[in-house]
Amino acid sequence: MKVGTCTPYYRLHVALSLGAGRHSSRDAIALLMWFHRKAGVDAVSHVRALVRTEAAAAQLVAEARAVLLHGADAESTTTLLSCACGEDENDDARNRVRRFFLASCGTADAPRRGVAEVLGGVGELVFDDRLHAILRRWYEDGTDGGGVLPRELAAPYCSRRCVGTAKVQEDGRSLFITFSKGFPLTRVEVEEFFTENWGSDCVAKVMMQKTPPGEPPTYGRIVFRRAATAAAVLAGRPLVKLMVNGRHLWARKYVPRTPPPQQH
């Protein structure tokens, strides 16, 4: 996908963020992009006509978050999303399309994984603020179509992806995880859960609390290969509760400890 092709998605991202915040609007658009790829319905093209106020933007983003949290169980809260997918004014048709949209989503794991794939793929171009600022200046300079394309815009997508992934430090790709007291999880269980739900190659490593022999860990840290995967797991929330093999796992953004000031 060329940068110019990404511009409509980016403009919509900016418009939705006015009513709902940038991270949440990004996830909503990524969900629609995933649905387009999965079901062949270009929902993004319909959103402009449906979302004309900040309140409508907030509603659409809230519906997307409900789908990412609950999957098909979000049936009663997806009015705008269903309209974006081509609903008819007729109630029967609306119900059919809503069922079609949610059935395509399946469990919450499927759309969350789909959003992670979009954000870790073409989303690196679509939601790159710096790249779009360069593109905007290029257009404003009047060189569209005639001037030399800036190196950042001409660079192949695949090379940008490789370089960009390498530059993201581990802290920005990590989640801090905790377990219920008395119900610990092993490193293998944690890794298998995330790879099954967010992609077989999504995990870089899992680190667990070091404890005395016989004492189970109560916390750990998971490092993903892409920051987008960590963001997709959280789905815009500061803390998420996940069920792993019948036991609870809580995950939040990893924040490294600040070293104590040195004594002089």
HSE value, Cβ hemisphere, 13 Å, CA-based, for 120 = 24
Task: Write down which residue in 90, 108, 133 finishes a domain.
Answer: 133
The overall average pLDDT reported for the chain is: 74
Q: Are residues 101 and 191 in the same domain?
A: no
66 found inside a domain: yes
Contacts 24+ apart (CB under 8 A), 91-100: 99/75, 100/39
Q: Are residues 122 and 15 in the same domain?
A: yes
Between residues 150 and 109, which one has the greater pLDDT? 109
Whether residue 160 is predicted with pLDDT greater than 60 in this model: the reply is no
pLDDT of residue 165: 46
Q: Are residues 46 and 120 in the same domain?
A: yes
pLDDT of residue 143: 54
Q: Are residues 7 and 123 in the same domain?
A: yes
In percent, the amount of the chain with pLDDT more than 90 equals: 19
Question: What is the amino acid identity at position 217?
Answer: P
pTM for the predicted model, two decimal places: 0.59
207 found inside a domain: yes
Between residues 247 and 99, which one has the greater pLDDT? 247
146 found inside a domain: no
62-113 per-position pLDDT tens digit = 888 888 777 656 655 557 777 776 655 454 544 544 555 556 565 667 787 7
Q: Taking residues 138-143, what's their average pLDDT?
A: 60
207: region left, alpha or beta (phi > 0 left; psi from -120 to 50 alpha): beta
pLDDT of residue 186: 92
50 found inside a domain: yes
Please give the full DSSP string across 98-121, using - where no structure is assigned: HHHHHHHH-STHHHHHHHHHHHHT
Q: Are residues 202 and 126 in the same domain?
A: no
Q: Are residues 194 and 92 in the same domain?
A: no
Check residue 173 and report its DSSP letter: G
Report the 10 Å Cβ neighbour count for 25.
25
Q: Are residues 205 and 247 in the same domain?
A: yes
138 found inside a domain: no
Number of domains in the chain: 2
70 found inside a domain: yes
Q: Are residues 91 and 29 in the same domain?
A: yes
Q: Are residues 7 and 128 in the same domain?
A: yes
Q: Are strands 174-179 and 219-224 parallel, antiparallel or unpaired?
A: antiparallel
32 burial (CB, 10 Å; 0-12 / 13-18 / 19+) is: buried
100 found inside a domain: yes
| Phi, psi for residue 207 in degrees, rounded to 5 | -115, 135
Q: Are residues 105 and 182 in the same domain?
A: no
Which residue from 257, 241, 262 is spatially nearest to 108, judged by alpha carbons? 241
Check residue 73 and report its DSSP letter: G
Residue 253 in 3-state DSSP? strand
Least reliable range by pLDDT among 71-80, 105-114, 151-160, 193-202: 151-160
- Residue numbers of the domain that contains 82: 3-133
Between residues 79 and 240, which one has the greater pLDDT? 240
Least reliable range by pLDDT among 37-46, 68-77, 165-174, 237-246: 68-77
In this structure, what CATH number is given to the domain that contains residue 208?
Answer: 3.30.70.330
Q: Are residues 178 and 246 in the same domain?
A: yes
Q: Are residues 93 and 19 in the same domain?
A: yes
**The CA-based dihedral angle spanning residues 141, 143, 147, 150, taken in that order and rounded to the nearest 10 degrees:** 60
